[in-house]
Every structure is written in structure tokens, then in C-alpha cells.
A = this chain, B = another copy of it.
């Protein structure tokens, strides 16, 4: 069985039999070339009609109990929430989504700009704010230099909010490893969405 998390820039596959994941470029990859059965989630609207024409590609969207979520919530966030019984999920990509799950139920979440988007934002405001982030900043001390003042503004507030829930922290997404130093005992889970997809498949009795 293949699982696939489709975003705006890539098809992220997980081969459940071999236990390995790999990515294909969204612009160049032809999903019709895959012959194995694929269960997928997709946030890339421009690809949806092509995917629906392929018999071996099964969209997991209809299998989700949307009662626990909201209609416009990204299905990648939903899949991550399905993977966790108790915790706060930080999915760090072009945006950073933060979602809280207690007792297996989604409690709400928020959307923060991604690390690259934040760096670009400071650069655009002023060249004087063009500094690399210090991911090892001290969160219990107010900054007294420009680099820390920017780092604390960009990422310190986020780290404090996430830690403040008092729940296990799950980091996933392309920038997850960058954010590791901001948390005391984070769980680094690059394949978290695929765990959630497997649970959705099991709940729906698809396999």
C-alpha cells in the first residue's frame, strides 16, 4: 500500500510495505504512472480533478469524520490530528500550523507564517532587520540585541504559546528539525501525517 500527502510543491509518498518515504516534484510528477493502490490526501486544488480520474488513487477526504473539525480546515492538519491522542502538533512548512488534541479530539488550532516566510517578512520591512534567526535563544529573558529581538518576535512567542499548553509537542513538516531547539522534549515525527492516514484508513474499514 502507498500513502501520499499531496501539497503545493510535492507528492510525499510513504511505502507502507518497505517502510520508506520519498518525494516527487508536484509540477513534474504524473500520478497516472503509479500502478499500485494509493490512498491520498490533497491540498493542491489544481491536481484534484486529475486524481479523481485515476481508479487506483483513493481520496481519504470522504473517510474523515468532519464533525470533529471544520469544513475549511486543511486535510493535512486533520490527518496529523488523527495520529495523536493527546498533544500539540506543530507542522512547520510554508506555514506553521499548530493544532491541539485532547482525549483524541481536536480542540482548535492556529496558522502562523513559516520560517522562510518570516525571514522574508523581516527582510522586506527593513534591511536592518535582515538577520538569521537564533533558534537557541533563551525564552525566559527579554532580548537585548537585534538578532535575539527578531528571533524572539518571530519564533519565541510561538514556542512559548506551544509549550504553554502543557501537552506533548509533536514536530512535523519540512522545517521540524529547525524548531527542535525551541522545545524542551519535543517528539520529532516527520512521518506523523502518514500515521494519521493509516488510522483514517483503518477507521473507515478500507483495509
**A residues adjacent to B (C-beta < 8 A):** 8, 70, 72-73, 94-96, 98, 100, 107-114, 117-118, 120-122, 124-126, 129, 141-146, 148-150, 152-154, 156-158, 160-161
Contact = CB atoms under 8 A, between A and B. Distances in A.
Nearest to A145: B70
A166 to B, nearest CB: 14
A160 B149 CA distance: 17
A28 to B, nearest CB: 21
Given A129-B95, A157-B157, A121 B113 contact: yes
B110 A117 contact: no
A143 B112 contact: no
B129 A111 contact: yes
A113 B118 contact: yes
A178 B10 CA distance: 38
Contacts of A158: 157
A145 B108 CA distance: 8
Contact of A125 (B95, B98, B152, B157): B95
Contacts of A148: 110
Nearest to A127: B45
A124 B73 CA distance: 19
Query: Which of A110, A141, A144, A160 has the most chain B CB atoms closer than 10 A to its own CB?
Result: A110
A30 B120 CA distance: 33
Task: Report, nearest first, the 3 A-B pairs whose CB atoms are least far apart.
Answer: A108-B142, A112-B153, A110-B153
Nearest to A151: B110
B72 A126 contact: no
